[in-house]
Amino acid sequence: MSPKVRLAVVLSVVYIDMLGIGLAFPVLPRLIEQFEGGDISLASYIYGGLAAAYSAMQFLCAPLIGVLSDRYGRRPVILLALAGMGVNYVLLAFAPSLWLFALGRMIAGAFGATLTAAGAYLADITPPEKRAQSFGLIGAAFGFGFITGPALGGVLGGVDLRLPFVVAAGLSLADFAFAFFALPESLAPENRKPLNLKYANPVGALREVGRYSSVLGLMAIFVLATFANRVAEMTWVLFTSYRFHWGPTETGWSLAAVGLMFVVGQGGLVRVVVPRIGERRAILIGLTVSVITVTLYGIVPRGWMVFSVMVLAVFGWTIAQPAVQALMSRSVPANEQGLLQGALSSMMNLTSIVGPPIWTGLFAFFVSEQAPVVVPGAAFFGAAVVFAIALVLARRRFAAPPVATPT
């Protein structure tokens, strides 16, 4: 099977997996509210707790998934994750109580590892100089699932709140069958690494990839920028409701536009821009644009202007993220790509755990009576500072000669 066909197969696996996640997204809060007898306040707290638990499980399990894929190959890990997600959705669809429903969400977090194994898979089949484009395509598949999944989930949820989980279960199990027959192994036997469970946790994985000096510096940039980029995800509905008085319709259209820009950026623009200017320049330009765009989000006086800023944002972290991932993947050997992707996934999920209280807390304080001055865009300005720190680190990192050997 040619690399292009294998690329198409693994991207379809990622898309269907994300579609299943997106299907459940619009109905989760309402279903929890139903479990709690219509108590919206209590349901909100539970929903927040389950979201944090989901991210925490991914944070803890992603390195294990990466280490297993380096030992046993990418294919069995992807198949295991898809089967686990299918079982999770069945449990969510028919759970008679909240604690079983919560168990299903924990299983979803533990098995939500197709992105980790898919990243390692693409690193296996893609030449080093083209990995930014491949990682961009994973992001595009992810973004396309974000657009189509919630829209379809909202329609299905209007029929029955459990129906999206039934459909998601069917999709995951169908995806398992598709991958079983269509997805060949990408990791050659000679590139497999002996299993070492001390690296199958976030601390051990970071310590192991930290042997590569170039990875450490890039990892710091990646974590800071990912954390800053969470600001829109965490505060968008709150900010646009307060600042522009948007309702669900306007917010829904704006989120669809965000997903569309993400697909255009990582699915198309990365493939044109990065080969022409190189990963380093793409990272520096992307971080600079990110500082500007989040600042603009915080100061634009009219809602329609947000859509203009979105177009500019396509040249920001959307471009820089796959370039950072490509540089890191080129700094580690073939038998540690899973370890690297697991560490990266853990760090991304860590930002999902610590991001919500920080960014929503900043917004809440600066629109409250306790604030010395009302600043609805305070969270975006804080994100601009974090992006700026990442940019300074990147400039210093690229001013020094690259180091790709263990220290």
Asked if the model's pLDDT at residue 51 lies above 70, the reply is: yes
238 and 171 both lie in a single domain:
no
Final residue in a domain of this structure, among 179, 210, 226: 179
Higher pLDDT, residue 209 or 327: 327
Asked if the model's pLDDT at residue 309 lies above 90, the reply is: yes
What digits encode the pLDDT tens for the residues 200-254? 777 788 788 878 878 888 999 999 999 999 888 778 878 888 899 887 678 767 8
Element (H or E) spanning 12, and its range? Answer: helix 3-24
120 and 249 both lie in a single domain:
no
What digits encode the pLDDT tens for the residues 396-405? 988 765 444 4
138 and 208 both lie in a single domain:
no
Residue 207: CB atoms within 10 A of its CB come to 13
Residue 186 lies in a domain: no
170 and 69 both lie in a single domain:
yes
Final residue in a domain of this structure, among 145, 179, 213: 179
Say what the pLDDT of residue 286 is.
96
Residue 190 lies in a domain: no
42 and 145 both lie in a single domain:
yes
Higher pLDDT, residue 277 or 114: 277
Asked if the model's pLDDT at residue 164 lies above 50, the reply is: yes
29 and 137 both lie in a single domain:
yes
174 and 253 both lie in a single domain:
no
Asked if the model's pLDDT at residue 406 lies above 60, the reply is: no
The span from the CA of 278 to the CA of 320, in Å, is: 11
Say what the pLDDT of residue 407 is.
43
Mean pLDDT is highest, among 51-60, 209-218, 324-333, 353-362, for 324-333
**Which of 247, 356, 261, 263 shows the shortest CA–CA distance to 303?**
247
Domain count, the chain: 2
* 324-351 average pLDDT score: 85
213 and 133 both lie in a single domain:
no
* 183-190 average pLDDT score: 86
27 and 122 both lie in a single domain:
yes
Cα dihedral: 321, 322, 326, 329 (round 10): 80
162 and 260 both lie in a single domain:
no
Residue 187 lies in a domain: no
Counting residues of the chain whose pLDDT is more than 90, the rounded percentage is 21
Domain, as residue range, for 25: 1-179
Q: Under a CB-based contact definition with an 8 Å cutoff, are residues 302 and 244 in contact? A: yes
Say what the pLDDT of residue 404 is.
44
| CATH code, domain with 333 | 1.20.1250.20
Say what the pLDDT of residue 403 is.
46
The span from the CA of 132 to the CA of 123, in Å, is: 10
Question: What single string gives the DSSP state of each residue in 267-328?
Answer: IIIHHHHHHHH-HHHHHHHHHHHHHHHHHHHHH-SSTTHHHHHHHHHTTTHHHHHHHHHHHH
264 and 309 both lie in a single domain:
yes
Say what the pLDDT of residue 324 is.
93
Residue 192 lies in a domain: no
Residue 69 lies in a domain: yes
Say how many Å lie between the first and final Cα of the chain, rounded: 38
